[in-house]
Amino acid sequence: MNPVDARTLAEVYDVVVVGGGPAGLAAALGAREAGAERILVVDREAEAGGILNQCIHAGFGLHHFKEELTGPEYAERFVNQALAAGVDLLTDAYVIDITPDLRVQLINGALGHAEVVARSVVLAMGCRERTRGAIRTPGFRPAGVMTAGLAQKMVNLKGLLPGRRVAILGSGDIGLIMARRLTLEGCQVVGVFELMPYSNGLTRNVVQCLDDFGIPLRLSTTVAFIHGRDRVQRLTLAPVDARLQPDLKQAWDVACDTLLLSIGLIPENELSHRLRLRMDATTGGPRVSSTLETSLPGVFACGNVLHVHDLVDFVTEESLRAGGYAAEVARGKRRPIDNIPLQAGDNLGSCVPHSLSPDREQVIYLRVKQPVKDAVLTVGNRYERRFRLLVPSEMVRLTLGPEVLERYFGDTLRIDVRPREVA
């Protein structure tokens, strides 16, 4: 990869990638493999790699590299590959706006306010964490309430601790990982409390981060009040009813100085909104075709800005494809227009992409709304697959070949997940 400055930044690029995390780096590589010559990756941090740089735990790469890597190791492999491939990298830079004719406006300390022309653009801005405001927790507003990701950054990159005695609300993967990390750092983790009756993290993280360290996970529980004027002093916790409302009569107090929030992720789509892309209200990301192209021709999206993934390996796979299709468009090549709209049916929270084409094998990612045991997933009336257990926290990857898709030419294809009927 070539770090670029004012002298070497080109005026025109085949592909400009916004975001240098795992999605952006893979998109750049995918674009190179598909024949793009000038590729620019823009990242706001001083170093590429995105959120992986603060994920110092292992568990990355099991699918893509068939080995277990830490986050920084996984990122380094992609940075090195991009370096070898001659991709331009502009760090400490911020994309302010993209015009509908794909002029990318950015600012950077060395360049000032610059503009580059892109033949195609890949959006790979990732996601952000939901905060206290999103869940309306009454009480005081002291120091010591923060997202699990901010705590992870401060612990792993700045060598600071969020507190000494920590409670975690929400069982998202970052929260589970931080429960283990803070225990290893000598903090006392008093428990992980989850509003829903099931965990929102990967099963392997519940086992490896909580069970192995004796950290309790209490389901159907929420924080009903935060005490402490300057710094958190204690929390009132309460079980929730079927409508997820706290039952204050059964509430109890826990002393702690810190509350970490791991209550969900939101795709970071401010640029997408400025571009007026058509959005999917369920995923929070743009609607995309089978080539991962958004409603604005020439603009592609991949990774967590498109829909929140659980595994970086899936981000990589999706982004390699997005980069490849972006390169094709930049080089004047067009795939056939999708002719099968896809619809998320019973018990499906999301389904990406939003349309398919029968000319080639298609990869579909989906997520259920509610856990289902002995589930049957049906695609239209021709394809069926069984699962022992489907949970919202684990995304399903589905591939469909032309032999299935050809039958649905011009029809809306609906995917449903139902419990298997007992004979």
Partner 1 sequence: MLHDVIIIGGGIVGCAIARELSRFELRVALLEKEAEVGFGTSKTNSGIIHAGHHAPPSTLKGRLEWRGNQMWDQLARDLKFGFSRVGELLVALEPGDLAHLQELKEQGEAKGVTGLELWDPPRIRREEPNLSRDILKALHAPTAAVVNPYEAVFGFMECAQQNGVSLHCGCPVNALRRVDGRFTVHTPCGVFQARYVVNAAGLFAQQVAAMLGADDFRTRPRKGEEYMLDRRLQGLVTHLVFPTPRPGTKGILIIPTVDGTIMVGPTADDHDDPLDVSTTWEGARRVFDTVRRYCPAISERDAITEFAGSRAVAEGDDFVIRASPVAGFINVGGIQSPGLTASPAIAEHVRELLAEQGLALQERERWKADLEGPARFAQRTPEERRALVAADPAHARIVCRCELVNEAEVVDAIRHGARTVDGVKFRVRAGMGRCQGGFCQARVIEILARELGIPLHEVTKRGPGSELFYPRHDQPGSEP
Interface contacts to partner 1, rule CB under 8 A: 44, 92-94, 96, 105, 107-113, 128-129, 131-134, 136, 138-144, 146-147, 149-150, 153-154, 158-164, 185-186, 224-227, 229-231, 246, 248, 268, 270
CB of 370 to partner 1, least distance (A): 21
CB of 163 to partner 1, least distance (A): 6
For every residue of 216-262, DSSP letters joined together read -EESSEEEEEEE-SSB--EEEEEEB-TTS-B-GGG-EEEE-SEEEE-
CB of 159 to partner 1, least distance (A): 6
What is the spatial distance between Cα 326 and Cα 320, in angstroms, rounded to a whole number? 10
Strands 252-255, 234-239: parallel, antiparallel or unpaired by DSSP?
Answer: antiparallel
Which residue number, 67 or 241, has a Cβ lying nearer to partner 1? Answer: 241
- Decide if 38 contacts 13 (C-beta within 8 A): yes
CB of 231 to partner 1, least distance (A): 6
Which residue number, 148 or 344, has a Cβ lying nearer to partner 1? Answer: 148
The three-state secondary structure class of 356 is strand
The three-state secondary structure class of 396 is strand
Which residue number, 146 or 340, has a Cβ lying nearer to partner 1? Answer: 146
Which residue number, 257 or 293, has a Cβ lying nearer to partner 1? Answer: 257
Q: How many CB atoms are closer than 10 A to CB 252? A: 11
CB of 226 to partner 1, least distance (A): 8
CB of 97 to partner 1, least distance (A): 9
Strands 112-123, 103-108: parallel, antiparallel or unpaired by DSSP?
Answer: antiparallel
Which residue number, 67 or 270, has a Cβ lying nearer to partner 1? Answer: 270
What is the spatial distance between Cα 5 and Cα 109, in angstroms, rounded to a whole number? 10
Which residue number, 155 or 288, has a Cβ lying nearer to partner 1? Answer: 155
Which residue number, 113 or 386, has a Cβ lying nearer to partner 1? Answer: 113
CB of 250 to partner 1, least distance (A): 15
Give CA separation, 116 vs 24, 99, 323, in Å: 17, 11, 18
Which residue number, 156 or 290, has a Cβ lying nearer to partner 1? Answer: 156
Question: Smallest Cα–Cα separation from 193: which of 163, 166, 171?
Answer: 171
CB of 207 to partner 1, least distance (A): 27
Give CA separation, 194 vs 198, 219, 245, 266, in Å: 8, 5, 13, 18
Q: How many CB atoms are closer than 10 A to CB 331? A: 16
Q: How many CB atoms are closer than 10 A to CB 141? A: 10
What is the spatial distance between Cα 127 and Cα 389, in angstroms, rounded to a whole number? 27
